[in-house]
Structure 1
Amino acid sequence: MTCKRTKVSFQRRDDGSSHHCCVPHCSVSARFNSSVSFFSFPKDDELHKQWMINIRRDNFVTTNPRVCGLHFQSEDVIEPPTPAGRRRLKKGAVPVLFPWNNFTFLDPRPEVWERTECPDTECINEPFVGLRYPPDHDYCSITEPAGLDMVMSLDHNQELHAEIAKLRNQIEEITINSKFCLERFAGSDDDIRFFTGFASHAHLMAFWKQIEPATCRIIQVLQPIDEFFLFMNYLSLGLMQRDLAHRFKIHHSAVSRIINTWANFLYTVLGAVGIWLDKETIKSHMPEVFQGYSDTQIILDCTEIRCQTPSSLLLKSEVLSNYKPHCTFKGLIGMAPHGAVTFVSSLFEGAISDKDILKQSGIVSLLNPSMAIMVDKSFSVEDCVPCKVYKPTCLRQKAQLSEPEVRKTQSIAKLRVHVEGLIRRVKERKLFSTVVPVSLTGSINQLYAVACLLVNYENRPLVNDWATNG
């Protein structure tokens, strides 16, 4: 049975009636409808049962249910209505017009396209006009594109992926360049040498691999390798802590903690490595130019680091140098004949003599009569070491040196000049080539020892070719 009714206009009722049609999926309401009638269920039991069967509401229980007039055939409704405007049904009339028996009727509420002008009416699919619910559609199905369209789509996707990869690389590059970190300078050995003192990025990473396992014990503000990079910047460039704070975008108090932490950490880690070599190891690496001095165990020399003048007169008198007109710290450093740093003393006040430093440094206990040391002519230590001492001949009261003495002085001077190169490498650290502030007095020993010990890791050997240098 198929029947269609003409469309009627719907408007809000004034009497506030709230009748609703009880037929499933029917949304007709008297509140917004003044022209559709609503009929109560008949009192006759058989007819009432037939209504329930037709509207498919078995076991339906509600107070005064209603069925709208849209579900009845036009001949079942008595026309005209009563003077009060009410319509009545003929005796024995039952609702028969429903969506499940192929009946369709216009939705009482206007659809979107009925409220908006549509310039092209041909775009509406005619069979669906008047249906409130469109037919089922499989939204999981994908329409296969044509062959050419598919190829063009794949090419376009590849171009998009390439563009995305390019943009990601640009973002990563911008992010790295905006940060002051080791990764930013990894491609330039000149920058690595300038900021850290290591000869190349490979030298730096080789050293990092040795100390990295122990860095897990450090409480970190930045990435461990970036904190190490910050410390090496401080050591190599002597930068102010506020400058480093701006470079690494952290608080200057965090910079101070990082410097102190890494000074103590490297002092402990590098100090745990035994740098003093036994006599057999020294002999196995002895350069040929030491033929006349083959028993030399170590070449020693003292160095001075200028410090800020303290306000206390007592402290000033202790750190005032005997050789220079300013306050200094003084330390003893030694290297093996083949160029390795094998001894570093603590720093002492500048007023102390070289002889007293040697006594207090602890190196005397490491020497034995089968060894020899090589020192400058100002070191008068023959009476306080248990071994032979090689040093240039001093004129003293002589007018001039004899020919053998001149040759001996020249040969020793050529051999011990490399310890001065070692000291120069340490002082290439700007922190030690400028005036050390009094505020660093508590950590200057650690910083100095670390700078000396790093010489064994950061660069090429001090003595590259003894034959050439000789």
Structure 2
Amino acid sequence: MVHTCVVVGCRNRRTPGTTLSFYRFPRDPERKQRWIAAVNREGWQPNEGSRLCSTHFISKQVKNPRSPDYVPSVFRTSSMTGTPDQTGAFDFSDKQQAQVEAANALLFLQGQALEMGSQPGHYLEHDGAESVASASSGSAINVPMRSRDIVTPAESPPSSDGDEMSSVNDAIDYEEEVERLRRENRALRELAERASLTEASLRNDPVKVRFYTGLPSYFVLETILWLLSPRMRADKTVKLSRFQQLLITLMRLRLDLRNQDLAYRFGVQVGIVAQTVRSVVDAMSSTLVPTAVFWPSREELRRNLPTAIQSACPDCVAIVDCFTVALEGSSESGVIGGALKYLIGVAPQGVVTFVSRGSPGHVSDRELVENCGFLAKLLPGDVVLAGRNLDADEAVAARGAQIRIANSRGDVGGEGEERAVLRRHVERVIAMVKRRYAMLNGLVENTFDMNTFDRIVRVACALNNLCISATPLE
């Protein structure tokens, strides 16, 4: 199909061999109206076949609203209110004047233009044999010059006060300036990338991955995303990608950032952050927790006991402790005293094997141990280590097991350096999970109900088990 430019007086057509481009009118209503206004044909509206050629743009049409080529701007100055059949070519004198102005503009851009004299002829003596190629043709401007074409400062007439005109402006090295701007642009892009929280920025920065997520590597983060993707929404109604949804949730657990902070970082509303965290926690609770938090067999436990445990307590199956998470108020959770209490069981190797449901903060350690289901995991002959007295000796003994306390003097039934090593090991294992995920410490922003927060604690324990253990096998 042959297209003809719709601009009045422009006879450019799409023909074989032409280097011109022909553009459709934009679909965006506001930009389309600006194009129609630039064409300046009274009462005219474009149709599907209407085209505008590339000679009416400085370079080519672009979609960046900040670019001068977002809207056509190159038109001749005479009236365009007529129709193509009623208009002819430029008047010769107008064309000649336009060529002279174009040549002078080029000289100025090249840093060679002089101070303009009182007459146009002070710049160029222009005749038909030395005419400049028409700017509207789309070709480069070629300006043949002779020594008499340019008036030097010495030849310029003196001003009325007798002072000579200023000297020629120093030429600007545009290539060097462009290269400098390119380097600056690259540096700014790299700075923005390092400060961002995109997939690319985390993929190339393992330290950032560990800081924001608590996970050991981007590979582990990517694997979790792959596992959760079928259970996460990512349609047009969701403003956050699957990666952003997972990252927000991990940052909430890892750093205990407030919802408003995360909303600012990701450019969404506070309610979307809270909803996203609930949704992703639910997905991780059903996907990760059953496979990552489980009670291992006795053979596996004994086969992988750390050196600190093997000689001092070879029958140890778990190290237990109770911890309390304080909440801001209790309106939504219905928790008395604004706190939840949990019992956590950790294998001697540092892997979480048991975590109870939350109980009101005023519940005693003994009540929690007896009612949380932990005792059902024990077999006769098992030994449970604790960093402090939980007052649960009788309940554990009823299962044929034994609870032993590594107290501050470092003795578990005796004195010695071996007992002190055991005590330090117990303290390190207990502190591991809470240190890795700050949401399990301090005062937590209360935007969750009790069941959701229980899932959050279990998810934090599952994520801990995906990390490198604080007590590697020896």
TM-score (normalised: structure 2): 0.54
Q: Distance in 2 between matches of 1:446 and 1:179?
A: 29
Q: Distance in 2 between matches of 1:422 and 1:394?
A: 15
Q: Is the 8 A contact 2:227 2:287 kept in 1?
A: no
Specify the code of the residue in structure 2 equivalent to 1:388. Answer: A
**1:120 Cα deviation after fit:** 3.8
Match in the other structure for 1:420: 427
Q: Which residue, 351, 364, 367 being the options, matches 1:356?
A: 367
**1:114 Cα deviation after fit:** 6.5
Specify the code of the residue in structure 2 equivalent to 1:381. Answer: A
Q: Distance in 1 between matches of 2:339 and 2:88?
A: 97
- The equivalences for 1:227-238 within 5 A come to 227-238=245-256
Q: Distance in 1 between matches of 2:256 and 2:224?
A: 25
Match in the other structure for 2:222: 208
Match in the other structure for 1:276: 295
Specify the code of the residue in structure 1 equivalent to 2:368. Answer: I
**1:168 Cα deviation after fit:** 8.9
- The equivalences for 1:4-403 within 5 A come to 120-122=127-129, 173=190, 176=193, 179-199=196-216, 203-220=217-234, 221-273=239-291, 274-289=293-308, 290-310=310-330, 318-319=336-337, 328-376=339-387, 378-385=389-396, 386-392=399-405
1:112–1:342: structure 2 CA closer, same or farther, 3 Å change rule? closer
- SS of the residue corresponding to residue 446 of structure 1 reads helix
Q: Distance in 1 between matches of 2:311 and 2:473?
A: 15
- SS of the residue corresponding to residue 283 of structure 2 reads helix
Q: Distance in 2 between matches of 1:292 and 1:239?
A: 41
Q: Distance in 1 between matches of 2:392 and 2:89?
A: 110
Q: Is the 8 A contact 2:351 2:469 kept in 1?
A: yes
2:447 pairs with 1:439 = yes
CA deviations on 1:301-328 (whole Å, 9 max, x unpaired) are: 111222335479xx67x44xxxxxxx53
1:264–1:232: structure 2 CA closer, same or farther, 3 Å change rule? same
1:282–1:111: structure 2 CA closer, same or farther, 3 Å change rule? closer
Specify the code of the residue in structure 1 equivalent to 2:401. Answer: K
Percent of aligned positions with the same letter in both sequences? 20
1:394–1:114: structure 2 CA closer, same or farther, 3 Å change rule? closer
Please, which runs of 5 or more residues in structure 2 have no aligned partner?
1-86, 97-125, 132-175
- Say what the alpha-carbon RMSD is for the aligned residues: 4.1
Specify the code of the residue in structure 1 equivalent to 2:343. Answer: L
- SS of the residue corresponding to residue 392 of structure 2 reads coil
2:460 pairs with 1:451 = yes
Q: Is the 8 A contact 2:312 2:419 kept in 1?
A: no
Q: Distance in 2 between matches of 1:250 and 1:404?
A: 53
Q: Distance in 2 between matches of 1:462 and 1:179?
A: 29
CA deviations on 1:46-88 (whole Å, 9 max, x unpaired) are: xxxxxxxxxxxxxxxxxxxxxxxxxxxxxxxxxxxxxxxxxxx
CA deviations on 1:327-348 (whole Å, 9 max, x unpaired) are: 5321111111222221111221
Q: Is the 8 A contact 2:325 2:340 kept in 1?
A: yes
Q: Is the 8 A contact 1:302 1:332 kept in 2?
A: yes
1:166–1:311: structure 2 CA closer, same or farther, 3 Å change rule? closer
Larger radius of gyration: 1
**1:285 Cα deviation after fit:** 0.7
Specify the code of the residue in structure 2 equivalent to 1:431. Answer: M
Please, which runs of 5 or more residues in structure 1 have no aligned partner?
1-108, 125-158, 320-326
Q: Is the 8 A contact 2:259 2:274 kept in 1?
A: yes
Q: Is the 8 A contact 1:390 1:412 kept in 2?
A: no
Specify the code of the residue in structure 2 equivalent to 1:433. Answer: N
Match in the other structure for 1:79: none
Aligned length: 305
- SS of the residue corresponding to residue 293 of structure 1 reads coil
2:432 pairs with 1:430 = no
Q: Distance in 2 between matches of 1:426 and 1:461?
A: 10
